Amino acid sequence: MNLTIGKLARNAGVNVETIRYYERRGLIERPAKPAAGYRRYDREVLDRVRFIKQAQGLGFSLDEIRGLMSLSGARCTEIQALAEQKLDSVRQKIDDLRRLETVLADLVRQCRAREDKADCPIVESLADASRRRTGS
């Protein structure tokens, strides 16, 4: 299978600029350009692009994906360690989002409970936080 960059992108479900970006980041190799014609990508590059997209879908950054790809053929425990780190990170983000949800829900409740809608507790809370940061 020899694919032009356009066909590679289409088959992988990405756009051409994504392929070029992955090349610049060193995630895939840029094939040599023949004297006459277009660069051709093989099945291995297509599989790699699909792998990258799948890993991104699981929340891995491109740097983390590079690490995963460098461990290809490594023992499962090494790859498991990276996945466990990502899982811990995801759980932390979920905890942070739950705290954010609680704060926002409370602010919305305060806003709904106000009879005088002129002073908004949401704006007041943001202004207070801003003043605390700047020390005003």
Q: How much is the mean pLDDT over the chain?
A: 89
* 78 phi, psi to nearest 5 deg: -70, -45
Task: Check pLDDT > 70 for residue 136.
Answer: no
pLDDT confidence bin for 117, thresholds 50/70/90: low
| pLDDT value of position 129 | 78
Interval 55-91: pLDDT, tens:
999 999 999 999 888 887 778 888 888 889 999 999 9
Residues 6+ apart with CB under 8 A from 90: 59
Task: Check pLDDT > 80 for residue 119.
Answer: no
Of residues 4 and 123, which shows the higher confidence score? 4
Q: Hey, what CATH topology would domain 1-70 get?
A: Multidrug-efflux Transporter Regulator; Chain: A; Domain 2 (1.10.1660)
| pLDDT value of position 100 | 94
Residue 103: how many other CB atoms lie within 10 Å: 11
The domain spans of the chain are 1-70
The percent of residues in the chain predicted with pLDDT above 90, rounded, is 57
Query: pTM, whole model, 2 decimals?
Result: 0.70
Distances 69 to 26, 44, 60, 80 between C-alpha atoms, Å: 11, 13, 12, 13
